[in-house]
Amino acid sequence: MTERIDALAYQADERDLEWWKNAAIYQIYPRSFADANGDGTGDLEGVRSRLPYLKSLGIDAIWYTPWYVSPLADGGYDVADYRAIDPAFGDLDAAEALIQSALELGIRTIIDVVPNHVSNEHEWFKAALASEPGSKERARFWFKDGKGQDGTQMPTNWVSEFRGTPWSRTHNSDGTPGEWYLHLFTPEQPDLNWTNPEVVQEHLDVLKFWFDRGAAGIRIDSAALPVKDTAFPEVPEDTTTEPHPYVARPELHDIYRGWRALADSYDDPKILVGEVWLPDLEEFAKFLRPDEMHTAFNFDFMSRPWDSAEMRASIQQTLDAHLPIGAPATWVLSNHDITRPVTRYGREKSGFSFADKAFNVPTDLALGTARARAAAMITGALPGVLYVYQGDELGLPEFEDLPPCAIQDPMYERYEKVAPGRDGCRVPLPWTVDDAHNFGFSQGTNPQPSWLPQPAGWRDFSVERQDLDPHSMLNLYRAILDGRKSIGDVAEGDFAWLDLDVPESSEILAFKRGEKFACITNFSKETLELPAGMKTILSSSSQTSHTQVTPDTTVWVELV
């Protein structure tokens, strides 16, 4: 089967080797997308059954969050075996079949690779725990002696990315306390030692394993974190002037250069997309040099509040950072870690930051939905790559009332249960109005309840309902994704700000693509009268006339 996939991929890529520069990429969280066997957990067969839906949405590629064997201590970002699919999702044959079926519809596959850590149930870590300090098994990870008398203090005072300590102490074979090991995330996610050539080689082999099975590229998880300063210093007070012991270390770039060389060695070159959370745009851009990653996620835009000046600044900075290195920008409104846009944009504080996550933050969902629709049209019209997280195209709100006993995200525990964690955006999708089948999420007779409960009102968000409504979020997304291809200027026109000569201009975000297309968003409280010579071709609001833009609305216009 592998050979056939390669042949197919090659034919497709010959038509367009640069597909990734303006692709629309749909993110699937396999656990929550579609459940073919009715066990309450999504699976690969479920995805395969929904490929026609994805085709009709108009996407170019799917990015899957990890589908490998995993104890799911962090939703699959704790990989126990990269060369096998988690039995809850299917098996390797199912993955190959899915990659191939998608390709037949012109949809490419991007898989997730998590270089910073593996699962504590990975063979390597089990072997490390069973081996003595100083052994080659332990040298694949960061095992260190503790400080102080009897080594009872942690080797450093670093803080975990999920709060709390990033060190856990092991026990020696005689039961006495032993070395500590590093885990920047949960204790079930031990960090790998990237100075070890075995770690480097293993990842090249894993990439090859999946590229040979037809994957068109990889999403690189926590891409700025894998390399550590081997002296293990404390984090300096000012990391703008002094190097950070584990964020964006210069040695990372050689690793990604090695990956890029492998990716480029295919007849249908593979792509690398980095999850690079770095406020310093210069450092960010280094990852996008021509011999490193193709693109990286742009989290800045997603983090900004609903405000024209903020969004304008973010767009400008993003384009400025990408232009000199010739890499396309990416536009992201959410993902499996982020509060859903319709909930976020309906809040008083409408930007996103993990630190702001809390229970019972009021939101106006009608307002949030209007703004999320408008934001989808902004990101859809910007130059570069568009990411759509499953369920955003249905306008799903964050499920904020998940019963605490149902929450599985480790962030909830690590934040001492004062914030809800990330499961509220990971709830299984509603496909139909049939509640006996978890709103169509689960197929088969007598399915189990879904692994996270769905709110009762979600039948109204179902694909079945939205299909019939020309103004639904789903049909808006279809129009946006179609417009990115069918409107020549949106596909390739140059970007330029458009200054409208109107009284509320500071609260209007307007830009042109090419000579004939503009995207205009009204952030003010007044209805905007469009200047003459503009014809609305798509609006995020069902009420907008052809010459007006109501508040919290985006229109795409033809300049005539």
Shortest distance, position 336 Cβ to ligand GLC, whole Å: 6
Cβ distance to ligand GLC smaller for residue 336 or 513: 336
Cβ distance to ligand GLC smaller for residue 336 or 340: 336
Which tokens go with 426? 């990971």
Angle between helices 473-486 and 365-381 (to 10 degrees): 10
- 221 binds ligand GLC per the rule CB under 6 A: yes
Shortest distance, position 165 Cβ to ligand GLC, whole Å: 16
Task: Name the amino acid, one letter, at 179.
Answer: E
* 552 classed as catalytic: no
Burial of 53 (0-12, 13-18, 19+ CB in 10 A): middle
- DSSP-derived secondary structure for 472-514: SHHHHHHHHHHHHHHSHHHHHPPEEE----STTGGGEEEEEET
- Catalytic residue chosen out of the listed positions 221, 268, 292, 552: 221
Q: From CA 135, how far away is CA 281, in angstroms rounded?
A: 40
What HEC string does 462-475 produce? CHHHHHHCCCCHHH
Counting Cα atoms < 13 Å in the Cβ hemisphere of 267 gives: 14
User: From the CA atom positions of the chain, what is the Rg in Å?
Assistant: 24
Task: Name the amino acid, one letter, at 459.
Answer: R
Structural contact between residues 178 and 172, judged by C-beta atoms closer than 8 angstroms: yes
Number of residues binding to ligand GLC, judged by CB under 6 A: 9
Cβ distance to ligand GLC smaller for residue 277 or 517: 277
- 337 binds ligand GLC per the rule CB under 6 A: yes
Bridge partner residues of 295 (DSSP):
273
- CA nearest neighbour of 169 among 156, 160, 178, 158: 178
* 221 classed as catalytic: yes
Shortest distance, position 219 Cβ to ligand GLC, whole Å: 9
Q: From CA 424, how far away is CA 514, in angstroms rounded?
A: 39
- Of 43, 45, 60, 74, which one interacts with ligand GLC (CB under 6 A)? 74
- 477 binds ligand GLC per the rule CB under 6 A: no
Cβ-closest residue to ligand GLC?
Answer: 77
Task: Name the amino acid, one letter, at 29.
Answer: Y
- Catalytic residue chosen out of the listed positions 275, 392, 423, 507: 275
- 392 binds ligand GLC per the rule CB under 6 A: no
Q: Which residues in the 494-533 window bind ligand GLC by CB under 6 A?
A: none
- 45 binds ligand GLC per the rule CB under 6 A: no
Cβ distance to ligand GLC smaller for residue 273 or 463: 273
Which tokens go with 333? 């409104």
Structural contact between residues 459 and 394, judged by C-beta atoms closer than 8 angstroms: no
- 110 binds ligand GLC per the rule CB under 6 A: no
- 114 binds ligand GLC per the rule CB under 6 A: yes
Cβ distance to ligand GLC smaller for residue 116 or 550: 116
Each residue 248-287 as x (binds ligand GLC by CB under 6 A) or -, in order, gives ---------------------------x------------
Cβ distance to ligand GLC smaller for residue 79 or 315: 79
Cβ distance to ligand GLC smaller for residue 161 or 489: 161
Shortest distance, position 405 Cβ to ligand GLC, whole Å: 21
- 77 binds ligand GLC per the rule CB under 6 A: yes
Q: From CA 320, how far away is CA 298, in angstroms rounded?
A: 13
Shortest distance, position 209 Cβ to ligand GLC, whole Å: 20
- DSSP-derived secondary structure for 350-384: -S--GGG--SS----HHHHHHHHHHHHHHHHHSSS
- 185 binds ligand GLC per the rule CB under 6 A: yes
- Of 119, 222, 522, 550, which one interacts with ligand GLC (CB under 6 A)? 222
Q: Catalogue the active-site residues.
A: 221, 275
Residues that bind ligand GLC (CB under 6 A): 74, 77, 114, 185, 221-222, 275, 336-337
